Amino acid sequence: MTHRFRWATVGIAVIAILGIGYGFRTAHYQHHFLSGTKIDGVQVGGQTADQAATTLSAKLANQAYTVTEHQSTLTTFTSRDAGIKAPTTAKLNQLLAKQNAFSWPLHVVSASASDQQLDASAINQADLTQLANQIVAKAGTNRTQTHNAKLIYQDHAFTIKAPVYGSEVSTNSVKAALSKAIERHETTINLKQAYVQPTVLANSKSLVSAKKTAQKLATNKITYRLSNHRVTIPRDTIASWLTTSQGKVTTSNSKILSYLTKLSYRYGTVHKTRHFKTHSGSTVSVPAGLYGWSIKVTSETPILAKLVLAGKPTTRTPVIQGTGYHKDGTDIGNTYVEVSKSAQHMWVHKNGKIVISTDVVTGKPVKGTTPSGVYVVWNKQRNATLRGQNDDGSNYASPVSYWMPVDDTGVGIHDSPWQPRYGGSWYLTHGSHGCVNTPPSVMSHVYATVALHTPVVIY
């Protein structure tokens, strides 16, 4: 009994000692990080929150990082450059409160305290952005661009073009690579990790679906009414406009604009030389002026793009700009003003009949010669003052009772009470600065008869 009692007493004493030691160490780890604890990759085991804050501040403030590419150093930076901030004492106390001090014999801590990773708030985003911009600048612009897989049309068929994995970098891609490296405590960063990656691959379901959609859209029938013409856009043309953006079918508006520009040039009249039949029945060639129409391609382009993607058969008249557009294909029509510089005469035609015929004085050659062309009465004004410069450089101001401008350089039709005579060769020595001088006794009738937007043919 004595022997057994002795061993029991020893056992109790050992347990008591161990219990006191366990309790002491447990109390110690209420205020110290467990052995082996890392925060942001830095060993802080056995340290208080204050001690850990000092350790982390020193380590993170001086951590060096290297950016490499093709096994060469592109640049280096410090954690301070990246805007990395050490955890505060308050943050570290929060981690201490989460650790299981009773598990110190096993050196096990909770996941949140074993190796706490930097979060977004631990990095100054403005500093990181500035650093990323500097790295992008050092990387240079002579790089292969990254392209998504896309739909193309060639040889009368749609195919999917594989993506291009380029070497271009962006501020966002570099920031992402830096953040990932910092979180993983990697001090060497391969710039390849920051290359911009394609977001749409060749096997993308959306791209495969887009191919089927484009094949259907290309068969749609879109027809334009252009005066007395009907123009149906060819299937290949529509197909060539279709492409993809982020895997969805869209149109190349630059190609549509180019098509409409060519269409406007072919059927529009504003830029064309006219073969004009004069009052006497002869035909003269008259260059283009302000009169005429064209397709307003900047307005029509988005409309046509929308029609293409809608996929519904459509017939429409495009947005027209200018004057003289007629559904029946007529141009100047049978109501217009005719001015012959050689005859120094003007005729006003209305509904196919000459209602006014008068001698005039046109511009004095060579500097003041009245320009030939098909123009338009774009404004009418009573009691205007015409201003400009004489041949000798002096300024003039000529009051007129009736003013009808026809071009964009200041040429127009108006009364001219200062002219003593009209017609003949008077214009060679006493011609105007380019305008069509009209006898005051006739000009009031001209003003009343000729409406806005009436064509004016000068030859």
Which residues carry out catalysis?
Answer: 414, 435
Q: Is the dihedral of CA 197, 203, 204, 206 positive or negative?
A: positive
**Rounded Cα distance, 195 and 193, in Å:** 6
**Rounded Cα distance, 310 and 249, in Å:** 11
- Find all residues with CB under 8 Å of 398, minimum gap 6, and list them: 385, 386, 387, 416, 418
**Rounded Cα distance, 259 and 254, in Å:** 9
User: What is the distance of C-alpha 171 from the center of its chain?
Assistant: 20
**Rounded Cα distance, 35 and 46, in Å:** 6
Q: Are 358 and 439 in contact (CB under 8 A)?
A: yes
**Rounded Cα distance, 104 and 46, in Å:** 11
Residue 18 corresponds to which tokens in the numbers above?
Answer: 């161990």
Tell me the residue type at 285. S
Backbone dihedral angles phi then psi of residue 159, each to the nearest 5 degrees: -135, 160
Q: Are 406 and 414 in contact (CB under 8 A)?
A: no
DSSP letter string, 165-213: ----B-HHHHHHHHHHHHHTT-SEEEGGGGBPPPSS-TT-HHHHHHHHH
Any idea what DSSP says for residue 324?
-
Partnered with residue 159 across adjacent β-strands are 152
| Alpha-carbon distances of 251 from 209, 241, 297, rounded to whole Å | 16, 5, 15
Q: Are 341 and 373 in contact (CB under 8 A)?
A: no
Indicate the burial class of 240 (C-beta count within 10 angstroms; 0-12, 13-18, 19 or more).
middle
Taking every pair of Cα atoms in the chain, the longest distance, rounded to a whole number of angstroms, is 157
Tell me the residue type at 440. P
